[in-house]
Amino acid sequence: MAVSVSDTAIGAGEDRALVRSTFIISPNTPMMAAPTDEFEISLTVTNNQKGAGENGKVRLRAIPSEHLTITGNSEFDLTIAEGRDHTLNIPVKAAGPLGAAQIRFIASNNGETSELFSYMSVRPAVPYRVSLYSGAIKNKTAEVAIDRNVYDEFHTRDISLSYLPMGMAKGLSFYLNAFPYGCSEQITSAAFPFLYPQLLRELGFTRAQADAGVNRVIGILQARMKENGAIGMWTSRSYDDPLITIYAAHFLTEAKNAGYYVPSSLMDKILQACRSIANGSNTSLYSITNRAYAIYILTLNEIVTTPLVESLKRDMGRREEAETGFAGLYLAGSYALLQKTADANALLSKIRRAMARDDSFRYIDDLMYHSVYLNILSKHFPQRLRDVSESLLVDMAEQMERQSYTTLSSNYALMAVDSYMKAVPTAQTGKFTVLELLKDNQRRQLMPAGTTLFSVPFSAEAAKISLENKDNLNLFYQITAAGFDKEIPKAEIKNGIEVYREFLDESGKTVSSVKVGDIVTVKLNFRSLSNREYRDVAIVDLTPAGLETDTNSIRQASRSSNWTPDYVDIREDRIVVYGTISNRVSSFSYTTRAINAGSFTAPPLFAEAMYDKSVWALRPQPAIRVTK
């Protein structure tokens, strides 16, 4: 169809034509495969060559990319009558590197040729994971064991060091950007570092990346906002938590102050939600903390909060742990913003160095407490930094060394480092040495580059990293090892929870072998190993390559199951189910169809508590076989 337009007239014309290849190639390939998977690709070739007759000849060639190996014939001389088709099976093995694989099919005869590319992904049978090894050393040597053996594709192996706390920043920023889940807190935490000017350049971000990241999250938060201004955890219909709503308001406040466009309707509604939280009457420690945080954000937005402060102060007086903990920190910050210096200093002097524990603190950990402490000091009490900053920073490094961090506390740590860098911008210097201790016991010196933040990659052969700091200054370090593990764990892992997956036939019997076309029910089972209930658990179920998921069955399972997930993220090669795990065995089921013959790796079922890194489980499973 063609259309032509001038200032005075418009004209259109159309015609029809049938366009078809001389040879039509129709492959049936799985969408993905895992290393070592062996399967058959069924391929149909139709012969449309004019004059071919009943004994038409077609030569077919299959040329795989480096990711795949054809284990049988790759060239075929076929006899296909004109207008007819022929189907054959080609055995293939996923034997090469990870990545986007393809097979090029070429059909030809008498100078006429047709080509088709079939694409698939060779992806590992385990999720992508980021491991951080952090700490601080002074006048000593530390050796850090690297316990990850990852594929070279999509890997990151990096060491960052600094005599300023930004030595902890690079790995945390990478962890946030690579985090595989996407609730409102996590997407906000990933974009928040774009608003830290002291770290933006050191972390390697460009202005274009920052603009795209911040604007994207502003749009997502607007879409997830409820009528009352609260932010839903996954969608506008999901549950909400006061802390996450205030946290989103904090992000929008900083984005607006940095010059980003935040719609006034969005800002007004979320501040109204903060006002409702601040005006609450609940006197639990978690509620008082949220009220204090909400008042701090309202005060940052130049809203008069004096009546809210007085009401909060009365309720805090009944709980000493509130006045000396999180709530006291935020209230001291609000007093400083309100220019009530005497009240601010008096309250700050009562703050304890350790966090008061409370079971209702769902998202909060020790690293977040120390980070908020350092952030409030750096922003509003810089004159007090000299007294406590060193021990605070060492405490933060120790928390990360113990793997005690989440997306929320990681971002607060970055926020604190950024504020600290503004207050104490002068870089200290010293002498340090970095060595790789290789698996064959050789030692190789590494030469980190930089001025304030020093970085250097390390090799896949490194078994340990040796760090030596000869100065009486804290050297903050962070080692990042990220990627897909080469080895699938052979033993089940149960840390606080356990999981297992079953493949069921149409009669409900557990099976490990099915036929092409069969309906296979996938049943995910999970429970807590104690009386404790774990919330915000992500269960990652990677689909074996020979099965195709029925997405409608996933949605129906969400409605009909006796266990209700908070959210189900349906992706091309996996589903991620989020919810609460109790000590009662719960399950989540959906259906798939067997589509390709072969032997396929059954990726281990994996689950982790998103806000408690010590709680996770993995269950290996034998391969599933699909027969013709």
- The residue among 282, 283, 278, 253 whose CA lies nearest residue 268 is 253
| CATH code where residue 549 lies | 2.60.40.690
Q: What is the pTM of this model?
A: 0.90
Let me know if residue 621 belongs to a domain.
Answer: yes
Which pLDDT value is given to residue 559? 61
Is 471's pLDDT higher than 90?
no
Cα angle 482-487-491, degrees, rounded to a multiple of 5: 115
Contacts 24+ apart (CB under 8 A), 212-217: 214/255, 214/258, 214/260, 215/260, 215/261, 216/191, 217/187, 217/188, 217/190, 217/191, 217/251
3-class SS at 406?
A: coil
Cβ neighbour number for residue 529 with a 10 Å cutoff: 15
* 371, 245: one domain: yes
> Is residue 472 scored above 80 in pLDDT?
yes
* pLDDT confidence of residue 571: 92
pLDDT at res. 390: 81
Among the candidates 381, 401, 423, a domain finishes at 423
415 & 499 share domain: no
Confirm whether 389 is domain-assigned: yes
Is the pLDDT confidence value at 552 over 80? yes
Q: Which residues contact 259 (CB under 8 A, 6 or more apart)?
A: none
- pLDDT tens, position by position, 365-376: 999 999 999 999
Domain count, the chain: 3
Instruction: For residue 434, tell me if it sits in a domain.
Output: no
Among 423, 439, 464, where does a domain finish? 423
CATH number at residue 76: 2.60.40.10
Residue 536 counted as domain residue: yes
CATH number assigned to the domain comprising residue 403: 1.50.10.20
- The domain containing residue 386 runs over which residues? 164-423
Assign 599 to helix, strand or coil: strand
592 versus 198: which is more confidently predicted? Answer: 592
pLDDT digits (tens, 9 = 90+) for 63-107: 999 999 999 999 999 999 999 999 999 999 998 899 999 999 999
Residue 435 in any domain: the answer is no
Q: Are 173 and 85 contained in the same domain?
A: no
558 in a domain, yes or no?
Answer: yes
Mean pLDDT of the chain: 93
445 part of a folded domain: no
Same domain, 616 and 563: yes
DSSP 244-294: HHHHHHHHHHHHHHTT----HHHHHHHHHHHHHHHT----SHHHHHHHHHH
Mean pLDDT of 174-191: 95
Q: Are residues 394 and 519 in the same domain?
A: no
pLDDT at 19: 75
* Parallel, antiparallel or unpaired: strands 57-64 and 75-79: antiparallel
Q: What is the pLDDT of residues 424-461, one digit of tens each?
A: 866 667 789 999 999 888 999 999 988 888 999 999 99
Longest dimension (CA), the chain: 99
Do 364 and 238 lie in one domain? The reply is yes
Domain boundary among 423, 450, 483: 423
Do 506 and 407 reside in the same domain of the chain? Answer: no
Domain match, 239 and 374 both: yes
Amino acid of residue 405: Y
In a domain, 260, yes or no: yes
The predicted pLDDT at position 80 comes to: 95
**One domain, residues 262 and 367:** yes
Percent of the chain with pLDDT over 70: 99
285-293 average pLDDT score = 95
Burial class (CB in 10 A: 0-12, 13-18, 19+), 80: buried
